[in-house]
């Protein structure tokens, strides 16, 4: 008898589960996602800062899963789940399942200050990355034509809120843009006048890394012209300013990388939620009491044997997707499910070209060797040979030309890709949307 498996979400967890279940006898898979492309989020900040194009990190889900004849991909939004009736409610109707995998990810959290979002976009979707890129480049255009020095200073001030990996990588990339790329393309802008501030409420940036590496990252950011403000909670954000404690900073561009929360779907499921509103799961990644419902990736709050809830990282999501798919196959064969055992493969963050930190637990790297390791790992996990080759060549050319003091590749690519025609996310080609309109993360 064929078992119907529904996967909600085409991120790292959902895609891994689908691949493991692909072409397995007695299994029919339906993957539902709001977008028709898989997004490699670890490199999203490079799209936001014009280092890469959107097509480099977004690949059609149908193309990725085309070799699996038992997998159907549907673009749509899931609004609820009837656990007792084993049905999923979507914007195109109801679907029945034998096994359900929820892997919807998370969205940005503004800690109850949702009015800040229009003035400080987050970085979770392709649309948000393109909106951030538009704001950064528009700020330089305003500064180029401004005759009032106060207006120019405001346009050349960039504030990134949040000292985690995303905030650090975003601030470092903006630092490189202002020093090596955009400053050379304008006539009335002095790159030295650009002010980049990374604001962190805690006592140090990259708090999940050892203190020594956190300090190294701070020094590397400062070498790129980034001011690092720790113990500095944000108290207000407006269209042309941000308040950090009692200090007001005039700026046109505020970028948010400070917190995450679960999707709205979680609140309507009637299940137990934990940290950041993520769904509490048991040892086998099931919703407690429901062997047919699994939760994976950022949507799941899984507590390891040490009592620590696993972080929202792609290695966690990939391993959980693998475990869930294998447990479904075991259940299909009449075998007992096995508990999830996470293998921590370390963490890494890059701070511009040739600067990074890597923590593998048993050994740590920083500087050029860490950056090279970061580069190779990300190239390996990118979907599609063409994407890997494109990104590798762009990074190589960017690094080599920058060392000679010339324009780096991103200085040209942002002008080219912003001229491309907009495409419909649901068109027949399966290409990701290139719309630059800002949409609220969900």
Q: Summarize pLDDT for 346-392 with one digit per residue, the tens.
A: 899 999 778 899 998 888 999 889 988 998 888 888 877 778 888 88
Across the chain, mean pLDDT equals 87
Task: Provide the token pair at 32.
Answer: 């539902």
Report the DSSP beta bridge partners of residue 71. 29
pLDDT of residue 259: 85
Task: Map out the domains of the chain with their CATH numbers.
Answer: 3-108+260-333 (3.50.50.60), 114-257 (3.50.50.60)
Crossing angle for the helix pair 314-332 and 12-21, to the nearest 10 degrees: 30
Report the DSSP beta bridge partners of residue 228. 198
Query: Is 178 in contact with 226 (CB distance < 8 Å)?
Result: no
Whether the pLDDT of residue 400 is over 90: the answer is no
Torsion of CA 381, 345, 68, 11, to 10 degrees: -70
Task: Provide the token pair at 301.
Answer: 């709050």
**Selected catalytic residue, list 127, 131, 169, 200:** 169
Other beta carbons within 10 Å of 407: 16
Eight-class DSSP state of 115? G
Spatial distance between the Cα atoms of 168 and 332, rounded to a whole number of angstroms: 45
Helix ranges (H only) for 303-351 are 314-332
Dihedral sign computed on CA atoms, order 179, 180, 182, 186? positive
Instruction: Compute the average pLDDT of residues 341-350.
Output: 91
Residue 75 backbone class (left: φ over 0; alpha: ψ -120 to 50; beta: rest): beta
pTM: 0.85
Q: Known catalytic residue: 169?
A: yes
Which phi and psi angles does 40 have, rounded to 5°?
-85, 85
Residue 23 backbone class (left: φ over 0; alpha: ψ -120 to 50; beta: rest): left
Crossing angle for the helix pair 211-223 and 165-176, to the nearest 10 degrees: 20
In tens, the pLDDT along 103-140 reads: 999 988 998 899 999 999 999 999 999 999 999 999 99
Spatial distance between the Cα atoms of 295 and 85, rounded to a whole number of angstroms: 18
Compute the radius of gyration of the chain from its Cα atoms.
Answer: 22
Whether the pLDDT of residue 441 is over 50: the answer is no
Report the DSSP beta bridge partners of residue 82. 87
pLDDT of residue 413: 42
**Percent of the chain whose pLDDT exceeds 70:** 90
Crossing angle for the helix pair 385-403 and 368-381, to the nearest 10 degrees: 160
Spatial distance between the Cα atoms of 259 and 255, rounded to a whole number of angstroms: 12
């Amino acid at each position: 008898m064929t078992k119907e498996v529904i996967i909600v979400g085409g991120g790292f967890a959902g895609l891994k589960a689908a691949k493991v279940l692909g072409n397995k006898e007695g299994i029919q898979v339906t993957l539902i996602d709001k977008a028709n492309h898989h997004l490699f989020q670890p490199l999203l900040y490079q799209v936001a800062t014009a280092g890469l194009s959107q097509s480099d990190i977004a690949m059609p889900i149908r193309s990725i899963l085309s070799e699996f004849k038992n997998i159907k991909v549907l673009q749509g939004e899931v609004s609820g789940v009837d656990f007792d009736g084993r049905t999923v409610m979507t914007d195109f109707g109801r679907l029945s399942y034998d096994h359900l995998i929820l892997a919807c990810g998370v969205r940005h959290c503004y800690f109850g200050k949702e009015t800040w979002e229009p003035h400080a976009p987050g970085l979770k979707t392709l649309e948000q990355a393109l909106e951030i890129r538009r704001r950064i480049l528009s700020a330089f255009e305003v500064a180029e034509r401004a005759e009032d020095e106060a207006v120019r200073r405001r346009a050349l001030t960039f504030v990134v809120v949040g000292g985690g990996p995303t905030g650090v990588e975003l601030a470092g990339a903006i630092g490189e843009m202002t020093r090596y790329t955009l400053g050379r393309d304008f006539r009335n802008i002095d790159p030295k006048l650009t002010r980049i501030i990374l604001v962190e409420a805690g006592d140090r940036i990259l708090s999940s890394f050892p203190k020594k590496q956190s300090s190294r990252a701070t020094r590397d950011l400062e070498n790129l012209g980034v001011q690092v403000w720790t113990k500095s909670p944000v108290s207000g954000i407006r269209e042309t300013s941000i308040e950090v404690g009692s200090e007001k900073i005039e700026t046109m561009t505020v970028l948010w990388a400070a917190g995450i929360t679960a999707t709205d779907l979680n609140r309507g499921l009637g299940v137990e939620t934990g940290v950041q509103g993520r769904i509490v799961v048991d040892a086998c990644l099931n919703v407690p009491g429901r062997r047919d419902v699994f939760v994976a990736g950022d949507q799941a709050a899984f507590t390891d044997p040490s009592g620590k809830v696993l972080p929202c990282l792609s290695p966690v999501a990939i391993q959980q997707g693998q475990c869930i798919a294998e447990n479904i196959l075991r259940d299909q064969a009449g075998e007992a499910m096995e508990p999830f055992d996470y293998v921590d493969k370390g963490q890494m963050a890059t701070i511009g070209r040739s600067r990074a930190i890597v923590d593998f637990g048993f050994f740590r790297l920083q500087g050029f060797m860490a950056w090279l390791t970061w580069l190779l790992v990300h190239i390996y996990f990118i979907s599609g040979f063409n994407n890997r080759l494109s990104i590798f060549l762009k990074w190589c050319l960017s690094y080599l030309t920058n060392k000679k003091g010339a324009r780096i590749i991103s200085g040209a690519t942002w002008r080219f890709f912003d001229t491309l025609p907009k495409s419909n996310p649901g068109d027949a080609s399966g290409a990701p949307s290139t719309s630059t309109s800002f949409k609220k993360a969900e």
